[in-house]
Chain A
Amino acid sequence: MVTHTVSKKKILLVDDEPALTRMLRLNLEQTGRFEVREENRGTNALRAARDFRPDLIFLDVMMPDIGGDEVAEQLKQDPELRKIKYAFLTAIVTKRETGTGAAEISGETFLAKPVKRDELLAVVDELLAE
């Protein structure tokens, strides 16, 4: 169990909806394979990332203070953070466009809300395996 804990991958969830980040966290943590942190203010995303050093970040595209795409842009500009993988959560891109699981749109990965637990885990595994 100890070795397991050590190799846990870290995932940062950025969405302005606390209930959603909580549900995502519970589902991810329930697998026992991930360490998860929630951030409900887009503008805090960068600081949280520097703090937490995640392997993967989920970004809500539409947040009231800052867009997920802008956060992604800042991540890419930051020499320390630019290696971190990220994916967008979106309510606008439909499942028809993403299919089930994630879709690549102009080089970015999108997950359509409402995402199902199975889809979520599949996408996480895929992104972390790269």
Chain B
Amino acid sequence: MSDAPDRPAPAPTAAPAAAPDSANPPCVLLVDDIPANLRVLYESLNGRDYRLLVANGGAQALDIAERSRPDLILLDIMMPDMDGFEVCRRLKENADTADIAVVFLSALDDAADKIHGLELGAVDYVTKPFHPDEVAARVETHCKILRLERELGQRNRQLELVRDRILHSMVEGVVGLDVEGRVSFFNPAAERMLGQAAARLLTHEIANWEPAPLRDTAITVLAERREVSVDELALPQADGSTLPVELRAAPIADADYPAGAVLVLRDLSERRRVEAKLHRTSSELSRSHRELRAAQMQLVQAAKLESVGRLAAGVAHEVKNPLAIVQLGLDFLEQVISFDEISTQVLADMQQALSRADTVVRGLLDFSRERELDLRPYAVNKAIRNSLQLVRHELTQRNIAVRTELDVDIPDRPFDADKLQQVFLNLFMNAMHAMERDGTLSIRSDYAPVTAADLGPHARDAGFLPGEHVIRIAIEDTGPGIAPADLGRLFDPYFTTKRQGEGTGLGLSVTRNIVTLHGGSIDLENRPDGGARALLLFPPQNAPADTAPQQAESVAIGHAHPPSATQW
């Protein structure tokens, strides 16, 4: 801790010379041009615990003082070669002798002289003719004062040493400021953290310090004499990087007298590293959680499909034979009997009922078959357009307008194109049936970070996280929407609100199976302004366990490290 700004972080000061003590008695120089006076002085002090030196003139006194460094000089004023005042002046001028305590001896009982002597730096005055006891008492007093002063100095230096050692070993950077805002000291940690700013702090007025938050903090703490802190500020380093630090500034309290301030800097880079690591770990955790959920969902789906599939195959077999018998029976009767008009109509109705029954059974079989996907890179927009094409005619007939907003920047990803078209077809059909006549079917697709509001129950189950980039498809209609009581059952196999023969209740179930097998999610909800909305999410890559993790990782890291340059 240097007092001089040009030595920012000096080594602790060396131990001072030993103070006078019993092993090292005080040294007193007696100066007088009159030998009788010298003798009296000598006699007064001899035999006590002093080392005594004598000089009979000013020049000799200076000479001895410089060589022997007495602790105290009893100095006569009136001397022929050089008067005592001059000797004192020269002693004080010389750094080596300036500390020596001077006591003037003079016959002059003149107040002005005494003042002059004290002004020159003397500590006391003894008037001639002197009494030996008085001389001895004065000398003893001054030696005691000297000893105490030196002890105090030493104690101070020891305290400084301790302080230096503490400041040196501190991981926090400490910068001391005086009342004017000049740097009075800083420790090595502060020097390291301040980096490029360190030199500026020493060479510039506080008003020109950089970076600005450091300047403003220092100015505020000095002006307002209250604690100020900055949670995070970036200090530019020599290598072009920035170091995140926390800054706390406190005024140095010295009764009512302002004594400057201390700035304490704490390096946040380690904490940031730990935080980033924690963030990574937690995003890894949620990713594995998500993978687990996805795997579990697929297992559940597979198990459901397995049993539904077996059931469907059994039912199909049992139903298809009777259907075939009726079908062929009807066909035969048509060949061999000539029908009147009414009978022909009856026959036509029976044929139609048969084909409807067949459709239902076929749907069942389709449903049991959704286990395998034929995956190839495919554009989701293409599936949307193809499916739309299939219902275009019916939409026109029902006077339903179609509005599409398909983002061209959606990346291709592995899809089973046929099954994906089946998904959209099911959803368009449902929307169409819901609206019956007149209305608008809107289809929007994009590739964007998913918001928390987008995450329905299925999306959350599938492990989608807010902020994750996903392929998003929203299908909205202006129909009556879904009864709240039905919301939880829509996706159950065989759940339908349609009349018998009109709905199988398998559409949404099949749709969700297909979407889930693609690693995606589908949720159906009511729109605030009426009608229903289906929202489909697909991760840009197919298998959650495959390429998706890297994707998620880079997203997570992106969040953890905002570019610090923008902070300025």
Q: Which residues of A contact B (CB under 8 A)?
A: 17, 19-20, 23-24, 26-27, 30, 62, 91-92, 94-96, 113-118, 120
A26 to B335, CA, bound (A): 10
8 Å CB interface, B359-388 against A: 362, 365-366
Residue with the greatest number of chain B CB neighbours at <10 A, chosen from A19, A92, A94, A118: A94
Which residues of chain A are within 8 angstroms of B324 by Cβ–Cβ distance?
20, 23, 91, 113-115
Does B329 sit at the interface, judged by CB under 8 A?
yes
CB pair A27 B328 closer than 8 Å? yes
Cβ-defined partner of A92 (8 Å) among B317, B325, B328: B317
A39 to chain B, nearest CB (A): 16
A26 to B325, CA, bound (A): 11
CB pair B323 A114 closer than 8 Å? yes
A23 to B362, CA, bound (A): 22
Known: A114-B328, A115-B328. 7 other contacts (CB 8 A): A23-B332, A91-B321, A92-B313, A94-B362, A114-B358, A116-B331, A117-B332
Which residues of chain A are within 8 angstroms of B326 by Cβ–Cβ distance?
114
Which residue of chain B has the shortest Cβ distance to A112 in the bound complex?
A: B320
Which residues of chain A are within 8 angstroms of B316 by Cβ–Cβ distance?
91-92
Contact with A along B150-173 (1 / 0, CB 8 A): 000000000000000000000000
8 Å CB interface, B2-46 against A: none
Which residues of chain B are within 8 angstroms of A114 by Cβ–Cβ distance?
320, 323-328, 354, 358
Does B238 sit at the interface, judged by CB under 8 A?
no
CB pair A96 B332 closer than 8 Å? no
Which residues of chain A are within 8 angstroms of B325 by Cβ–Cβ distance?
17, 19-20, 23, 114
Which residues of chain A are within 8 angstroms of B313 by Cβ–Cβ distance?
92
Can you list 5 contacts pairing A with B, beta carbon distance less than 8 Å? A24-B328, A92-B313, A92-B365, A114-B326, A117-B331
CB pair A94 B366 closer than 8 Å? yes
Which residue of chain B has the shortest Cβ distance to A26 in the bound complex?
A: B332
Which residue of chain B has the shortest Cβ distance to A120 in the bound complex?
A: B328
CB pair A17 B328 closer than 8 Å? no
Which residues of chain B are within 8 angstroms of A120 by Cβ–Cβ distance?
328
Which residues of chain A are within 8 angstroms of B331 by Cβ–Cβ distance?
27, 116-118
Which residues of chain B are within 8 angstroms of A92 by Cβ–Cβ distance?
313, 316-317, 365
B311 to chain A, nearest CB (A): 13
Does B342 sit at the interface, judged by CB under 8 A?
no
8 Å CB interface, B304-324 against A: 313, 316-317, 319-321, 323-324
Cβ-defined partner of B362 (8 Å) among A27, A96, A118: A96
CB pair A95 B358 closer than 8 Å? yes
A62 to B316, CA, bound (A): 12
Does B336 sit at the interface, judged by CB under 8 A?
yes
A24 to chain B, nearest CB (A): 6
8 smallest CB-CB distances across A and B, nearest first, come from: A117-B331, A91-B320, A23-B328, A114-B324, A114-B323, A114-B327, A113-B324, A113-B320
A92 to B366, CA, bound (A): 10
A118 to B327, CA, bound (A): 11
Residue with the greatest number of chain B CB neighbours at <10 A, chosen from A17, A23, A115: A23
Q: Is the interface of A mostly helix, strand, loop or mixed?
A: helix
A95 to B354, CA, bound (A): 14
Given contacts A91-B316, A91-B317, whether A117 and B362 have CB atoms under 8 Å apart is no
A84 to B332, CA, bound (A): 27
CB pair A23 B358 closer than 8 Å? no
Which residues of chain A are within 8 angstroms of B323 by Cβ–Cβ distance?
113-114
A130 to B274, CA, bound (A): 77
B444 to chain A, nearest CB (A): 30
CB pair B321 A17 closer than 8 Å? yes
CB pair B321 A20 closer than 8 Å? yes
Which residue of chain A has the shortest Cβ distance to B364 in the bound complex?
A: A94
Which residues of chain B are within 8 angstroms of A23 by Cβ–Cβ distance?
324-325, 328-329, 332
Which residues of chain B are within 8 angstroms of A96 by Cβ–Cβ distance?
362, 366
Which residues of chain B are within 8 angstroms of A113 by Cβ–Cβ distance?
320-321, 323-324
A21 to B365, CA, bound (A): 24
B418 to chain A, nearest CB (A): 10
Which residue of chain A has the shortest Cβ distance to B330 in the bound complex?
A: A117
Which residues of chain B are within 8 angstroms of A27 by Cβ–Cβ distance?
328, 331-332, 335
Residue with the greatest number of chain B CB neighbours at <10 A, chosen from A62, A114, A116: A114
A25 to B325, CA, bound (A): 11
Which residues of chain A are within 8 angstroms of B335 by Cβ–Cβ distance?
27, 30, 117
A96 to B316, CA, bound (A): 14
CB pair B365 A117 closer than 8 Å? no
A26 to B324, CA, bound (A): 13
A118 to B334, CA, bound (A): 12
A24 to B321, CA, bound (A): 12
A96 to B361, CA, bound (A): 12
Which residue of chain A has the shortest Cβ distance to B335 in the bound complex?
A: A30
Which residues of chain A are within 8 angstroms of B319 by Cβ–Cβ distance?
91
Which residue of chain B has the shortest Cβ distance to A115 in the bound complex?
A: B324
Which residues of chain A are within 8 angstroms of B336 by Cβ–Cβ distance?
30
A114 to B362, CA, bound (A): 11
A118 to B354, CA, bound (A): 15
A31 to chain B, nearest CB (A): 9
B332 to chain A, nearest CB (A): 5
Which residue of chain A has the shortest Cβ distance to B358 in the bound complex?
A: A114
Which residue of chain A has the shortest Cβ distance to B329 in the bound complex?
A: A23
Which residues of chain A are within 8 angstroms of B365 by Cβ–Cβ distance?
92, 94
A117 to B317, CA, bound (A): 20
